Amino acid sequence: MGLLKAGAGALGGVLADQWREYFYCDALESDVLVTKGVKRTSKRSSNTKGNENIISNGSIVAVADGQCMIIVEQGKVVEVCAEPGQFTYDSSTEPTIMYGGLSMENIKKSFSEIGKRFTFGGEAPKDQRVYYFNTKEILGNKYGTVNPVPFRVVDRNIGLDIDISIRCNGEFSYKIVDPIMFYTNVCGNVDDEYLRSEIDSQLKSELMTALQPAFAKISEMGIRYSALPGHAIELADALNEVLSKKWTEMRGIKVWSFGVNSVTAPKEDEDMIKQLQRNAVMRDPTMAAAHLVGAQAQAMQDAANNDAGAMTGFMGMGFAQQSGGVNAQN
Model confidence over 116-173: pLDDT tens digits? 655 544 455 678 889 999 999 999 999 998 888 888 887 776 677 788 888 899 999 9
Convert the pLDDT of each residue in 190-223 to its tens digit.
889 999 999 999 999 999 989 888 988 888 887 8
> What is the reported pTM?
0.73
Average pLDDT over residues 322-330: 50
Is 329 within 8 Å of 292 (Cβ atoms)?
Answer: no
pLDDT of residue 283 exceeding 80, the answer is: no
Residue 73, pLDDT score? 86
Residue 177, pLDDT score? 94
Question: Would residue 252 be called left, alpha or beta, if left means φ above 0 and alpha means ψ between -120 and 50 degrees?
Answer: left
For the purposes of burial, counting CB atoms within 10 Å of the CB of 250, is it exposed (0-12), middle (13-18) or buried (19 or more)? Answer: middle
Average pLDDT over residues 96-103: 74
Is 230 within 8 Å of 238 (Cβ atoms)?
Answer: no
- The letter for the amino acid at 126 is K
Helix or strand run (H / E) with residue 182: helix 179-182
Convert the pLDDT of each residue in 297-320 to its tens digit.
665 666 556 555 555 544 555 545
Q: What share of the chain is helix, strand, coil (3-state, %, to 5)?
A: 35, 30, 35
